[in-house]
Amino acid sequence: MTPTGVVNIHVAEREKLRFERGSVWVRMSAPELGVIQPLTGLAKRAVTEFNHAVAREFAEYESTLDLQPFVDALVRWWSAFQKATRDAWAKRRWLTEEFIVEWDTSLGHAVSGTALSMNQRRALAARVSGVEAEAVNAAFGDWNVRSHAADQNNALVNLELIDERSFFDRIEKTPLTDEQARAVICFDNRVQLVAAAGSGKTSTMVAKAGWTIRKAHASGDEILLLAFNKAAAAELGERCIARLANADIPATGLRATTFHAFGLRVIGEATGEKPRLAPGLDKNNGVGLLADVVRALRRRSPEFAARWSLFQNVLGVPMSAEVDPEPDAWDPQRRRSGYRALNLDIMKSAGERAIANWLIKSGVEFEYERPYEINLADAQHSQYRPDFFYPSTGVYHEHWALVPGQAEPPGYEGYLESSAWKKRVHHANGTTLIETAARDLGSGSLFAQLEHQLRTTGIEPDFDPDRPVPGSPLLTDREMLNLFRTFLAHAKSNRLEPAHLRSRVSKARNGTPDLRESLFLDLFDDVREEWDSRLREANEVDFEDMLNQATDLVEAGRWMSPFRVVLVDEFQDASHARARLVKALVNRPAHFLFAVGDDWQSIYRFAGSDISAMTEFEETFGAGHMMRLERTFRSSQELSTLAGDFVMKNPNQLTKTVRSDRSHPAPVELAVVDTDAGVTDAIAQRLSELSAAVSEGSSLSVKILGRYRYEEELVPRTRYRGLDVTFQTVHSSKGLEADHVIIPGLNRGGFPSTKEDDPLLRLALPEGDDFPHAEERRLFYVALTRARDSVLLIARSGRESEFVTELISDGVISLLGDHEAGEAPERCPQCGRGLMVVRQGKYGPFLACNRFPACTSKRSITS
């Protein structure tokens, strides 16, 4: 390149090049080569630099003449790579991630040790041609192994879609779609198939098994099909055998099994002694076994019983010094929201309720907010009411809302001045005041301080876990057991020993561990030790220990897997232990994993499932392909879009766009009723309407889906012509479908459940999902997507679920009854999470937030 154009000179002709220099010009010439290039307007220094640049170019070019052995090595690599890809194409083989890494690495080795400048690379590229040029471009150009493999794989898919059309049309009862067929053809080492509800994932798995054998990737006895329960495994296995036989594909040795059965097989074959699972684990996830453990601990240890009761009655709900949980009661005398204690009194803060419940279980008589014994009311102030009064000793008790790191609580201007005034009142009048502070509740020192102060005033607290009380505990026995069983499953699955769990306990701002977490882990240590002790004594194992032991044996090479291809169904339900076992099985060359699932339908966290198996697939199993089945054969486009938009408000979910060929306008309706009897009436009305629309000789299926089993009591017992009506819990309905769905329990506190997302579980999970109601949101998505045509939601008036509030605010559901004209209640302007609904007061109707008493927003109705 010269300042006035490009001149190409072969290195062999360099000596013929001549330069003539004038005072302000240079002429580069080689008449016998046809080169006469004037370079005018150059300064003398520029002419010198130009001469040097030309010399450097020739020197670097000549240096490439010594690189012939390097070029020869590149040509050998290139030829071998070309042969490998041609052989794969001839055999219709996928260029896998393993193939890409192997050839990319070998190319790196071929290039390493030879450092070339950019000029040398350009010079080398200019010197070579033909296959040498292709090889040099592979090493230094814009070509790369991965893009080449992607292009060849894409071409293979397009070819197989045509050549194997008869296979894709016959392998299942209905022809596979292109996206299903593409997932079958893709035979990378790691393939994650994200399958929308009703998208035919089982058909794809059956076809994948048939394709594996048909294309000689593996024989039937080298394929492992894993499912999560016996029924699913049996159905998958039987369907594979039947459909492969129909397609004349040999399936000898092909079987589907559960993770649990497979884990037991591994241990038995590796050790010569098959373990015995503890009986009762299959029933309700072993909660009954845990109940026996807790009963034994409570009988044997008064200390454990006291700590269990303290957690259940005093610290059962999450709270901190800074933030209270939502109020759960209304105090009509004091006209304010609050927190109902075990004696049915309503406290103004969760911290005061915790103190009250401790006092009640300790047998300490008290009065809440009793007026001070001396009248201090004046024109500006009402009578002073200390938080607690102990009548047996005449002692008062103030619980200060003081939090760590702040002089006074946020939103309480003048709080310290008011506190100081109260202290002066007691000092001036000779009354005894004891004090506690919110900052001491989280650290755990509050109750010890309070007990000490009470004893110094002559009160002897005696905490009795079995002391009868009129109210209900913060957590029921069932909720306590479910929490501990879920935590146990995750702690074992993630191999978190007590020290690991303790290290995860958060610290208060003063460096002291959080009381609720510490108390829970104290109890959990005892429960876990007793649980494991019983297993050892009976020579039994639980699910998590069994899966961990099986994984250890595979990882250690004590059990050599005969399976080269592992197909896993419902992968969103995998626990960390299951994921580790799968990884161990495929963690060898020429092994393949095909994991099918839908993170939107991950709803079994209580049984140990960990959504990160889906959302962090490549981090766990290595690079591969993520594919999607986004066409649903079940729900209408309108319902698919509504349900998908709802679940995707959680940014932690994997993105997909569900498509449907069916349309059903306004697929989701809401009926608001006043009583439980109204729920039954609304169900009966919908069933009557559907029955009337069924033509003679036809039938419709209807599923009534409850968040809880007891909701079955709300279902009318009448039989309806042409309708097949069944009740199921939402959890048990996954994988099933119906023409129409009715969901009767869309009430606040019920669905979404307020007890399922306890932050304690994050201590046992690799990473918590902090999005509000994440698991419950997925559960509601499952309920919605069981329907082919329509969904009826039923909620109690004034207690509508947050999910209902959200759907109404988004304008995506139709309201029945009083709202047939399309008028939807407005979202609460104060909390943003509730609806403004009509209430009746002594002065007539008014609008109030349906999240009352958690939110007390209200206003008059204007004409």
Bigger pLDDT: 404 vs 686: 686
d(C-alpha 709, C-alpha 728), whole Å? 7
Q: Which neighbouring-strand residues pair with 742?
A: 704, 792
The Cα angle at residue 476 between residues 295 and 756, in degrees rounded to 5: 115
What pLDDT does 820 receive? Answer: 40
- Residue 798 · residue 852 · CB < 8 Å: yes
Cα within 13 Å of Cα(134), Cβ side: 11
- Residue 782 · residue 730 · CB < 8 Å: yes
- Please give the average per-residue pLDDT across 823-847, as a whole number: 75
What pLDDT does 634 receive? Answer: 92
d(C-alpha 135, C-alpha 117), whole Å? 17
Bigger pLDDT: 629 vs 10: 629
- CA-based Rg of the chain, rounded to a whole angstrom? 37
Secondary structure element (H or E) that encloses residue 337, with its range:
strand 336-340
Q: Which neighbouring-strand residues pair with 597?
A: 194
What pLDDT does 796 receive? Answer: 84
What pLDDT does 318 receive? Answer: 80
- Which residues, at least 6 apart from 428, have a Cβ–Cβ distance to it below 8 Å? none
Per-residue pLDDT reduced to its tens digit, 100-111: 999 999 888 877
d(C-alpha 745, C-alpha 753), whole Å? 11
What pLDDT does 60 receive? Answer: 55
Single out the residue of 846, 836, 806, 816 nearest to residue 673, CA to CA.
816
What pLDDT does 838 receive? Answer: 75
Confidence of residue 745 (pLDDT cuts 50, 70, 90): confident
d(C-alpha 277, C-alpha 78), whole Å? 55
- Residue 703 · residue 837 · CB < 8 Å: no
Bigger pLDDT: 482 vs 333: 482
Secondary structure element (H or E) that encloses residue 311, with its range:
helix 302-313
What pLDDT does 123 receive? Answer: 63
- Residue 740 · residue 702 · CB < 8 Å: yes
Does 825-863 match 164-278+544-633 at the fold level? no
What pLDDT does 128 receive? Answer: 65
Strands (E), 420-539: 433-437
- Please give the average per-residue pLDDT across 495-519, as a whole number: 77
d(C-alpha 599, C-alpha 229), whole Å? 18
Encoding tokens for residue 482? 């479910």
Residue found under tokens 């690189």: 67
Single out the residue of 705, 706, 671 nearest to residue 689, CA to CA.
671
Domain boundaries in the chain? Answer: 66-153, 164-278+544-633, 284-300+479-537, 317-456, 640-823, 825-863
- Which residues, at least 6 apart from 424, have a Cβ–Cβ distance to it below 8 Å? none
Q: Is the pLDDT of residue 15 over 60?
A: no
Q: Is the pLDDT of residue 9 over 60?
A: no
Q: Give domain 640-823's CATH superfamily.
A: P-loop containing nucleotide triphosphate hydrolases (3.40.50.300)
Confidence of residue 819 (pLDDT cuts 50, 70, 90): very low
Bigger pLDDT: 40 vs 361: 361
Q: Which neighbouring-strand residues pair with 400?
A: 437
d(C-alpha 367, C-alpha 223), whole Å? 70
- Please give the average per-residue pLDDT across 802-813, as a whole number: 88
Pick out the residues of the known binding site for ATP.
195-202
Distance of CA 863 to the CA centre of its chain: 47
Pick out the residues of the known binding site.
195-202
Q: Is the pLDDT of residue 505 over 50?
A: yes
Could you tell me whether strands 336-340 and 329-331 are parallel, antiparallel, or unpaired per DSSP bridges? Answer: antiparallel
Confidence of residue 16 (pLDDT cuts 50, 70, 90): low
d(C-alpha 177, C-alpha 174), whole Å? 9
Per-residue pLDDT reduced to its tens digit, 20-30: 655 545 555 55
First vs last Cα of the chain: how many Å apart? 84
Single out the residue of 227, 232, 225 nearest to residue 253, CA to CA.
225
Q: Which neighbouring-strand residues pair with 790?
A: 740
Q: Which neighbouring-strand residues pair with 726?
A: 703
- Residue 617 · residue 582 · CB < 8 Å: no
- Please give the average per-residue pLDDT across 664-687, as a whole number: 89
Single out the residue of 361, 608, 305 nearest to residue 480, CA to CA.
305
Strand order in the sheet with 35-40: 18-21, 25-30, 35-40
Residue found under tokens 């609720």: 516
Per-residue pLDDT reduced to its tens digit, 307-343: 999 999 988 888 765 556 777 777 788 777 788 999 9
- Please give the average per-residue pLDDT across 265-276, as a whole number: 93
Identify the DSSP state of 790.
E
- Residue 759 · residue 316 · CB < 8 Å: no
What pLDDT does 750 receive? Answer: 84
Confidence of residue 76 (pLDDT cuts 50, 70, 90): confident
Confidence of residue 821 (pLDDT cuts 50, 70, 90): very low
Residue found under tokens 């302007």: 829
d(C-alpha 444, C-alpha 464), whole Å? 19
Q: Is the pLDDT of residue 511 over 90?
A: no
Secondary structure element (H or E) that encloses residue 516, with its range:
helix 515-537
Q: How many residues are present in the chain?
A: 863
Secondary structure element (H or E) that encloses residue 60, with its range:
helix 44-63
Domain 825-863, CATH among 3.30.65.10, 3.40.50.2300, 3.40.50.10490, 3.30.420.10: 3.30.65.10
Q: Is the pLDDT of residue 2 over 70?
A: no
What pLDDT does 608 receive? Answer: 76
d(C-alpha 660, C-alpha 667), whole Å? 14
The pTM for the full model equals 0.80
- Which residues, at least 6 apart from 484, have a Cβ–Cβ distance to it below 8 Å? 290, 294, 523, 524, 527
- Which residues, at least 6 apart from 598, have a Cβ–Cβ distance to it below 8 Å? 194, 195, 196, 197, 201, 572, 614
| Mean pLDDT for the chain overall | 85
d(C-alpha 839, C-alpha 829), whole Å? 17
What pLDDT does 206 receive? Answer: 95
Least confident of 242-251, 409-418, 569-578: 409-418
Evaluated on CA atoms 844, 845, 851, 855, the torsion sign reads: negative
| CATH number belonging to domain 164-278+544-633 | 3.40.50.300
Single out the residue of 487, 351, 527, 439 nearest to residue 760, CA to CA.
487
What pLDDT does 28 receive? Answer: 56
- Residue 742 · residue 721 · CB < 8 Å: no
Per-residue pLDDT reduced to its tens digit, 429-438: 999 999 998 8
Per-residue pLDDT reduced to its tens digit, 383-412: 899 999 999 999 999 998 877 666 666 666
d(C-alpha 647, C-alpha 776), whole Å? 10
